[in-house]
């Protein structure tokens, strides 16, 4: 399988999940700074994902999977013993999907585009940061005292996604100081070997 990715974007999440699951992926970087968007092998990315954003996952049979929340669940289900996603049909799986939806709509889509496009103006960015603070307060309360991961004691694809999105906080000038449980969770995730490996791999390829 091949993962189309761009360094510093949400495509880090499925990359982490694949390493956690022990799934080998071919990586192909997409230049998202230009239109038309061209991959490192010279392919027109619009032919792969007409929406033009990453990630996209090309399966061995030629099927292209889009949307990060779907891709991470697909990868997790390929390696059920990894525990990265609870079994389909369980309440735990529904709770996982609830977190993925929350991260996608209430966090990811507030960071991007609002905080990554200064042309929207300072007022729009202030509103975005205020909204993020309210949503992060919800995450903080759900974690409680000493809650290790979003679904309790087991690292899941939702944690990989949350880590990826909140890794943008420093660049986007989002202050996490009021959320000690969130910061502890991010530190714990950042120490995982798979996370360090995914980041190292993408940085190394970017430098080539």
Block means of pLDDT (10 residues each) for the chain, length 208 residues? 97 98 98 94 98 97 98 98 97 98 97 85 92 97 83 96 97 95 96 98 86
Cα separation, 104 vs 68, whole angstroms: 9
Q: pLDDT at position 146, please?
A: 62
Instruction: Provide the terminal-to-terminal Cα distance of the chain, rounded to the nearest Å.
Output: 22
Cβ-proximal residues to 21 (8 Å cutoff; 6+ apart), any chain: 75, 76, 78, 79, 82, 84
Per DSSP, the residues of 58-85 read: E-TTS-EEE-HHHHHHHHHHH-GGG-SS
Structure token digits, residue 131:
């909204």
Cα-Cα-Cα-Cα dihedral of 113, 118, 120, 124, to 10°?
80
Q: pLDDT at position 205, please?
A: 85
Q: CB burial class (10 A; 0-12, 13-18, 19+) of residue 84?
A: buried
Q: CB burial class (10 A; 0-12, 13-18, 19+) of residue 59?
A: exposed
Q: Are the beta carbons of 189 and 160 closer than 8 angstroms?
A: yes
Q: pLDDT at position 113, please?
A: 85
Residue for token pair 């103006």: 121
Cα separation, 35 vs 160, whole angstroms: 29
Q: Are the beta carbons of 198 and 206 closer than 8 angstroms?
A: no
Q: What is the DSSP letter of 108?
A: I
Q: CB burial class (10 A; 0-12, 13-18, 19+) of residue 38?
A: middle
Supply the pTM of this predicted model: 0.96
Q: pLDDT at position 147, please?
A: 64
Q: pLDDT at position 183, please?
A: 96
């Amino acid at each position: 399988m091949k993962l189309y990715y761009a360094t510093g974007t949400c495509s880090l999440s499925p990359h982490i999940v694949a390493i956690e699951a022990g799934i080998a992926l071919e990586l192909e970087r997409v230049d998202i700074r230009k239109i038309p968007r061209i991959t490192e092998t010279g392919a027109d990315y619009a032919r792969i994902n007409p929406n033009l954003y990453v990630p996209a996952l090309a399966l061995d049979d030629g099927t292209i999977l889009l949307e990060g929340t779907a891709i991470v669940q697909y990868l997790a289900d390929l390696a059920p013993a990894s525990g990265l996603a609870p079994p389909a049909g369980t309440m735990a799986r529904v709770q996982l999907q609830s977190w993925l939806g929350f991260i996608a709509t209430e966090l990811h889509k507030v960071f991007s585009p609002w905080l990554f496009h200064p042309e929207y103006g300072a007022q729009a960015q202030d509103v975005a940061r205020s909204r993020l603070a309210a949503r992060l307060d919800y995450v903080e309360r759900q974690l409680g005292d000493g809650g290790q991961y979003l679904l309790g004691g087991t690292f899941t694809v939702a944690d990989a996604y949350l880590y990826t999105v909140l890794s943008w906080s420093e660049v986007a000038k989002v202050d996490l100081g009021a959320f000690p449980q969130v910061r502890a969770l991010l530190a714990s995730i950042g120490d995982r070997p798979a996370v360090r490996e995914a980041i190292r791999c993408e940085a190394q390829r970017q430098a080539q």
